[in-house]
């Protein structure tokens, strides 16, 4: 029997539906999450199955309903809040950084905050500077938070189920450009642990460490590289925290060359951290400095040719990797 395929959006929805059936404490809170099923239609059908008490439409109050979710999580529910665009996490910062991330520690382990924030990242949707950012580095910086970046429908389902079962605040970033991406997704109840990287493709000459949709870019680049006789390994950390340092370092030692790809800003960003981890752990096995590729350090522009220039593509990754492996 051929494997069942789902889109990334369907995989997210299936994870939510399964968890909501399994655990009546799980509820969804956010703007236009009920009948509208969000602007991306990721949640369509859930309010029909679970009712308006568990799929809760809110006013446009990101700080307010995120704060409510923190308190609800502390007192016995397992809320999944929906922040429509990742750019709007700015409005939730106090609730996530000063409240959710710290309640367990500050209380000496008494209170727990088992909540998930689902939000988006990713440019090239022609949405301009306030709807296109990839700000996951901000949360990755804060002890007490966990950050998940699924790159395939399979990972989306398994990681989201784990995130919902986790006892800590977890932020789950979905690249909005991947919602229609299809891939095999088992019907059964499987979970993927947080903090375990996945080698998406194995290779010998260069490691492409990539997150979220950059994994798809890296896999495309790997095919181009193969035609040039270069064997690329693609490693997806899947979570920026907890971070599976060992898998990254082992791959770097094996191939001796690394490019780190992430759609956030490189400066003080995820690529900076991953490159540092690899440089520290595999320094003596590297044949070249670790290279970083991410969003250009500019607000994301609207004009299509400008926007396209801001993010790594298969072609730019291919060229960078080829230059590293075959210096001219």
Partner 1 sequence: MTTATSKPQAGPKPAGAAGTEKEKWLHAYRQMVSIRLFEEQVNEVYTRALMPGLAHLYSGEEAIAVGICQALRVDDYITSTHRGHGHCLAKGASPDRMFAELLGKEAGYCRGKGGSMHIADPATGNLGANAIVGGSVGIATGAAFTAKTLGTGRVAVCFFGEGALGQGSLYEVMNLAQLWQLPVMYVCENNQYNEYTHYQETTAGTILGRAAAFGIEAASVDGQDVRAVNEVATRLIERARSGGGPAFLQCDTYRYSGHHVGDINREYYRSKQEEHLWKTDRDPILVLTKWLTERGYADAASLDQIASEVRAIMESAVKFAIAAPYPNVDEVEKHVYA
Out of 104, 110, 131, 141, pick the active-site residue: 131
Q: Which of residues 2 and 109 has its CB atom nearest to partner 1 in the complex? A: 109
Q: Which of residues 95 and 212 has its CB atom nearest to partner 1 in the complex? A: 95
The least CB distance from residue 311 to partner 1, in Å, is: 32
Q: Tell me the number of residues near partner 1 by CB under 8 A.
A: 43
Q: Which of residues 60 and 306 has its CB atom nearest to partner 1 in the complex? A: 60
The least CB distance from residue 90 to partner 1, in Å, is: 13
Name the one range near partner 1 by CB under 8 A: 11-19, 22-30, 228-236, 253-261. Answer: 22-30
The least CB distance from residue 236 to partner 1, in Å, is: 22
Name the one range near partner 1 by CB under 8 A: 33-41, 51-59, 288-296, 314-322. Answer: 51-59
Q: Which of residues 58 and 212 has its CB atom nearest to partner 1 in the complex? A: 58
Please report whether residue 70 would count as binding partner 1 according to CB under 8 A: yes
The whole-angstrom separation of Cα 163 and Cα 157 is 10
Residues 115-174 contacting partner 1, CB under 8 A: 143-144, 146, 167-168
Query: What is the per-residue binding string for partner 1 in 83-122, x denoting contact by CB under 8 A?
Result: -----------xx--xx---xxxxxxxxxxxx--------
The whole-angstrom separation of Cα 131 and Cα 253 is 38
Query: What is the per-residue binding string for partner 1 in 252-291, x denoting contact by CB under 8 A?
Result: ----------------------------------------
Among 68, 159, 235, 320, which residue interacts with partner 1 (rule: CB under 8 A)?
A: 68
The least CB distance from residue 64 to partner 1, in Å, is: 3
Confirm whether 110 is a catalytic residue: no
HEC string for the chain? CCCCEEEHHHHHHHHHHHHHHHCCCEEEEECCCCCCCCCCCCCCCHHHHHCCCCEEECCCCHHHHHHHHHHHHHCCCEEEEECCCHHHHHHHHHHHHHHHCCHHHHCCCCCCCCCEEEEEECCCCCCCCCCCCCCHHHHHCCCCCEEECCCCHHHHHHHHHHHHHCCCCEEEEEEHHHCCCEEECCCCCCCCCCCCCEEEECCCCEEEEECCHHHHHHHHHHHHHHHCCCCEEEEECCEEECCCHHHHHHHHHHHCCEEEEEEEECCCCHHHHHHHHHHHHHHHHCCCCCEEEEECCCCCCCCHHHHHHHCCCHHHHHHHHHHHHCCC
Binding positions for partner 1, rule: CB under 8 A? 24-25, 27, 53, 58-59, 61, 63-77, 94-95, 98-99, 103-114, 143-144, 146, 167-168
List active site positions: 131
């Amino acid at each position: 029997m051929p494997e069942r395929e789902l889109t990334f959006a369907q995989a997210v929805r299936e994870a939510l539906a399964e968890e909501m059936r399994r655990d009546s404490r799980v509820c969804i809170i956010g703007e236009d999450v009920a009948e509208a099923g969000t602007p991306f239609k990721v949640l369509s059908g859930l309010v029909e199955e679970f009712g308006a008490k568990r799929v809760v439409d809110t006013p446009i109050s990101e700080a307010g309903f995120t704060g409510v979710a923190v308190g609800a999580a502390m007192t016995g529910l397992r809320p999944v809040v929906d922040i429509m665009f990742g750019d709007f996490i700015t409005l939730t910062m106090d609730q996530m950084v000063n409240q959710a991330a710290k309640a367990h520690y500050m209380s000496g382990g008494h209170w727990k905050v088992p909540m998930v924030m689902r939000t988006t990242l990713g440019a090239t949707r022609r949405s301009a500077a306030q709807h296109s950012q990839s700000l996951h580095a901000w949360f990755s910086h804060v002890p007490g938070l966990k950050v998940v970046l699924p790159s395939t429908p399979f990972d989306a389902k398994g990681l989201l189920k784990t995130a919902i079962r986790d006892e800590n605040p977890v932020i789950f970033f979905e690249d909005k450009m991947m919602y229609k991406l299809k891939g095999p997704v088992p019907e059964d109840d499987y979970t993927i642990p947080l903090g375990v990287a996945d080698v998406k493709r194995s290779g010998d000459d260069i490691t492409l460490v990539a997150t979220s949709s950059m994994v798809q870019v890296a896999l495309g680049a790997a095919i181009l590289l193969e035609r040039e006789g270069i064997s690329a390994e693609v490693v997806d950390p899947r979570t920026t925290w907890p971070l599976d340092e060992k898998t990254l370092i082992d791959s770097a030692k094996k191939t001796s060359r690394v490019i780190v790809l992430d759609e956030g800003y490189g400066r003080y960003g995820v690529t900076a951290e991953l490159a540092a981890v690899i440089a520290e752990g595999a320094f003596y096995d590297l044949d070249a400095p670790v290279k970083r590729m991410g969003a250009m350090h500019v607000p994301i522009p609207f004009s299509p040719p400008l926007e396209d220039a801001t993010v790594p593509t298969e072609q730019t990754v291919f060229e960078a990797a080829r230059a590293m492996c075959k210096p001219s």
